[in-house]
């Protein structure tokens, strides 16, 4: 009964936000004038989520506000645009606000776009396809290997990025190559105020989205950095990631794998690997039940005992996840998720999550 009341309340809040959102249509004169005059054009989007979490043997269960996300973009000219993303995240006793992305991009052509700023590191699929805004992804949360504050994958990077699509190719080949600050001495963070050492991080990712199989994407990426953690010697990090994604929803299949090697710079005999993957399957039902989308996900992360960077971070993880998403509104979804997880080989536990996620956007 309590749950029902809570769900009704959450739905009411989300619906109110959506209904209260901006609703206007431009006339022909306004569209013509905005494009021909070359005046900057601003766009805004917002995401948010509200959660109820219940965990085995945990007394701190209850309602949480997830992330409140604000996206802003502006076309300052045909080729030059600015994109910014800010988040507010509920913590124990306060909210933390963060500039998640700030990108100034100049597009020379489809083949070559150059930008500078703070990015979601273009490595793998989930980190750049969804990242913030849980309404975008099917499940209630990100896979553990790319969770916020992950020490496994450098979630953000600050620097420059070149990207583009190769012209007229049936394989839909595209690339992105970045160069910038590596990880901070707290390895979960990017070097927002400069690199902590003289060796910059670099990354390359090649992706394919074949014309013939719309919805299919696969990619291969590399990331390389030298890390100076605050409590141990300098470490060389090399990561390779690969993914396959079929995103047409009936079915939706995402498989992502990551292999990371860490080696002490002054003593190459001290080294270790990390392997992590997840496999996500979902299926949007057809016909009258198309608002419903059951899903299942398996995740695994294994860290070598000899890994000089991550051996003592408790990152070993194993999970089976079963959930159901209900898109009761074009801009809002309710998700229920059961999770059976094991953190760092400490025994399995059961979790239950209920989430209301929504987007404030107008096309």
Partner 1 sequence: MGGRTISACNYPLCWQSYKMPILMKMNTHNLTIRNWQTTICLVGMLLAAANVVSAESSIAESGLAIVVHKDTEVENLSLSELRNIFRANQQFWPNRSRIVLLVRAAQSDERDFVLNKIYEMNEDEFRRYWIAKMFRAEVPRGPKVVFSTGMTLDLVVAIPNSISFMRADNVTDDVKVVRIDGKLPGEDGYPLK
Contact set with partner 1 (CB under 8 A) = 23-28, 30-32, 34-36, 41, 43, 45, 71, 73-75, 78-79, 81, 83, 101, 103, 105, 107-110, 128-129, 131, 133, 136, 165, 168, 170, 172, 209, 211, 214, 249, 290, 327, 330, 359, 361, 363
Assess contact for 121 and 203: CB atoms under 8 A: yes
Q: How many CB atoms lie within 10 A of CB 121?
A: 27
CB closer to partner 1, 101 vs 156: 101
CB closer to partner 1, 32 vs 267: 32
Min dist. Cβ of residue 277 to partner 1 (A): 23
Q: Residues with Cβ < 8 Å from 75, sequence gap 6 or more?
A: 40, 41, 81
Assess contact for 242 and 230: CB atoms under 8 A: no
Rounded distance between C-alpha atoms, residue 123 and residue 216, angstroms: 17
Min dist. Cβ of residue 85 to partner 1 (A): 8
Min dist. Cβ of residue 142 to partner 1 (A): 14
Assess contact for 26 and 34: CB atoms under 8 A: yes
Min dist. Cβ of residue 13 to partner 1 (A): 20
CB closer to partner 1, 52 vs 119: 119
Angle at 266 between CA 262 and CA 271, to 5 degrees: 25
Rounded distance between C-alpha atoms, residue 141 and residue 297, angstroms: 11
CB closer to partner 1, 4 vs 286: 286
Min dist. Cβ of residue 254 to partner 1 (A): 14
Rounded distance between C-alpha atoms, residue 218 and residue 124, angstroms: 9
CB closer to partner 1, 51 vs 81: 81
Rounded distance between C-alpha atoms, residue 156 and residue 113, angstroms: 19
CB closer to partner 1, 120 vs 262: 120
Q: Tell me, what DSSP letter sits at residue 30?
A: H
Min dist. Cβ of residue 191 to partner 1 (A): 21
Omega of the bond leading into 251 within 30 degrees of 0 (cis): yes
Min dist. Cβ of residue 343 to partner 1 (A): 30
Residues in the chain: 363
CB closer to partner 1, 1 vs 25: 25
Distance from chain centroid for Cα 114: 21
């Amino acid at each position: 009964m309590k749950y029902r009341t809570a769900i009704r309340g959450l739905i009411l809040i989300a619906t109110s936000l959506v209904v209260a959102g901006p609703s206007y249509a431009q006339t022909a004169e306004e569209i013509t004038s905005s494009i021909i005059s070359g005046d900057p054009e601003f766009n805004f989007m917002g995401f948010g989520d509200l959660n109820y979490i219940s965990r085995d043997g945990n007394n701190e269960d209850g309602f949480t506000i997830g992330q409140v996300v604000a996206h802003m973009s502006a076309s300052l000219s045909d080729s030059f645009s600015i994109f910014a993303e800010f988040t507010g995240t509920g913590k124990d006793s306060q909210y933390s606000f963060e500039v998640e992305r700030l990108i100034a991009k100049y597009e020379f052509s489809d083949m070559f776009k150059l930008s500078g700023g703070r990015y979601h590191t273009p490595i793998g699929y989930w980190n750049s396809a969804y990242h913030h805004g849980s309404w975008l992804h099917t499940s209630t949360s990100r896979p553990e290997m790319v969770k916020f504050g992950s020490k496994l994958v450098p979630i953000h990077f600050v620097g420059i990025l070149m990207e583009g699509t190769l012209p007229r190719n049936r394989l839909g080949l595209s690339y992105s190559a970045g160069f910038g600050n590596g990880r901070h001495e707290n390895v979960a963070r990017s070097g927002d105020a400069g690199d902590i050492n003289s060796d910059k991080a670099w990354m390359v990712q090649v992706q394919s989205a074949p014309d013939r199989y719309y919805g299919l994407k696969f990619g291969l990426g590399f990331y390389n950095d030298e890390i100076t953690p605050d409590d141990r010697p300098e470490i060389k990090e090399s990561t390779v990631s690969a993914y396959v994604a079929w995103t047409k929803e009936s079915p939706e299949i995402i498989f992502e794998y990551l292999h990371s090697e860490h080696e002490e710079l002054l003593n190459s005999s001290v080294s270790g690997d990390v392997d992590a993957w997840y496999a996500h399957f979902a299926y949007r039902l057809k016909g009258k039940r198309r608002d419903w989308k059951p899903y299942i996900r398996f995740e695994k992360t294994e860290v070598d005992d000899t890994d000089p960077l991550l051996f003592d971070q408790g990152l070993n993880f194993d999970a089976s996840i079963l959930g159901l998403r209900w898109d009761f509104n074009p801009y809002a979804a309710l998700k229920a998720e059961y999770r059976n997880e094991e953190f760092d080989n400490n025994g399995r536990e059961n979790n239950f999550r209920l989430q209301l996620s929504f987007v404030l956007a107008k096309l």
